[in-house]
Structure 1
């Protein structure tokens, strides 16, 4: 390899995978530094034709990760015709997958990037849920996809985290009779807010267990049945004022409640789309 030679790396997505492989191979020939020309997001034959011409003129190798069938076929055929070395870096493993799983690949570019975007969206949602847990930073209500409201121990936090792992930004607000709710609750769409309620006896048991876990006596006001009735009445009245959907979580798993919330959310999104289409 002389100083005038290049390695063209072509992809119908980004070139990160191909570049890593090319550098790994080059290192086996004491070529830790190689001249690389990236051509990312190739979408048509014209781009490939120009690259093959340039590669022939510079006596270069083409290394590629192209999954769109007609682009790959053209590149393989034209490179052979022009006497250019073109190496498909994905094909051997792709063929192994086809044999092993007896399935045809999708042939769609940028799927890894889509996965990465989904991952970062979920991370961002989890960070949002942590920041806006238990009434922290009420202004965040305006930016949430879902706002959960309810008295203490109605599964607001675990439900927020479960939904966040699915990519939804969730804020949750505890409802306490002595503390006025944030004004933002009355400014957002009522269908983005979800009220969580529970039967008094179920809540009493949960709170007593919580006090026991903390090493406190079960006769504290927190688990007092009269106080619990007062809190639940206040919460339900507030939810009716807001006009939000209400879910009784007494005998529901987190997953079941989350599915109900997402079904409500999708129904609302569908209504908005249909209304304005």
Structure 2
């Protein structure tokens, strides 16, 4: 009668990939009596020796994903000494890629997980920017890394999305003289708020183009110069009350304005 199969999955990261490979392989057999034992984040020789001291008494095979050369060599040496079948999943793939691209591997554990985490942080930041765009929900202001304020057509939304792709959670609030700003805005440290302003003539041109795109005439108050000056004066007064940094976006591309915001964030972090 066959003894119970034990598969040791040893990894210097999570080990999920190796475990899935093992499950796929085992599924090819009529084998219901097996156990997969996963050992994650193995980073020291002593940990490997402890695992082998247990494995030597089992009817087992060892599958591992190790990128640190010294630990990989130890795994193979101990498997030979213990006469335990061992499969190195990563090395053949890494060696093949190295041969083709003529570049040395980083040999750093957990890189794919770091990339995944970075990706999900970006997705979260983008979803945040969409949810709290244009003052939709003031509850997001206290959760944001940065709050952008300014009159209509001062690049609040494009900047929010650009910064979201840098994993920064951004909320933005439109400034309209007749509409009170959320009270939460006065409860947030001024260094987290960035005011956006622009040249009135430039803003007039942008708003006229916006009206054309919507099929509306230039007579709308939205593009009226007196109205624009009123809005900018109101916004300027509010930004002074909030004592927040102000960026003139008149002649700046989104990337340029974003870099200024990032620099402000870096300076604020340095002053903590």
Q: TM-score range by the shorter chain?
A: over 0.9
SS at match of 1:194: strand
For normalisation by structure 2, the TM-score amounts to: 0.94
| 1:246 Cα deviation from its structure 2 partner | 0.9
* Aligned counterpart, 1:37: 37
| 1:223 Cα deviation from its structure 2 partner | 0.5
**How has the CA–CA distance of structure 1 residues 124 and 32 changed in structure 2, closer, same or farther, with 3 Å as cutoff?**
farther
Q: Provide the aligned length of Structure 1 versus Structure 2.
A: 272
* Aligned counterpart, 1:77: 77
* Aligned counterpart, 1:183: 183
| 1:69 Cα deviation from its structure 2 partner | 2.4
| 1:34 Cα deviation from its structure 2 partner | 4.8
* Aligned counterpart, 1:115: 115
Q: Compare 261-270 and 63-72 and name the one that shifted more.
A: 63-72
| 1:245 Cα deviation from its structure 2 partner | 0.9
**How has the CA–CA distance of structure 1 residues 231 and 87 changed in structure 2, closer, same or farther, with 3 Å as cutoff?**
same
- Displaced runs of 4+ in structure 1, greater than 4 A? 28-34
Cα distance in 2 for partners of 1:262, 1:252 equals 15
SS at match of 1:215: coil
- Contact conserved, 1:61 with 1:84, CA < 8 A, in 2? yes
C-alpha root-mean-square deviation of aligned residues, in Å? 1.8
Q: Compare 69-78 and 166-175 and name the one that shifted more.
A: 69-78
- Contact conserved, 1:145 with 1:192, CA < 8 A, in 2? yes
Say whether 1:255 aligns with 2:255: yes
* Aligned counterpart, 1:196: 196
* Aligned counterpart, 2:6: 6
Cα distance in 2 for partners of 1:212, 1:3 equals 79
- Contact conserved, 1:145 with 1:169, CA < 8 A, in 2? yes
| 1:32 Cα deviation from its structure 2 partner | 8.4
**How has the CA–CA distance of structure 1 residues 33 and 57 changed in structure 2, closer, same or farther, with 3 Å as cutoff?**
closer
* Aligned counterpart, 1:91: 91
| 1:242 Cα deviation from its structure 2 partner | 1.1
- Write the deviation string for residues 37-71 of structure 1: whole angstroms up to 9, x where unpaired: 11111122222112223322223110000112222
**How has the CA–CA distance of structure 1 residues 30 and 256 changed in structure 2, closer, same or farther, with 3 Å as cutoff?**
farther
SS at match of 2:251: coil
- Contact conserved, 1:10 with 1:42, CA < 8 A, in 2? yes
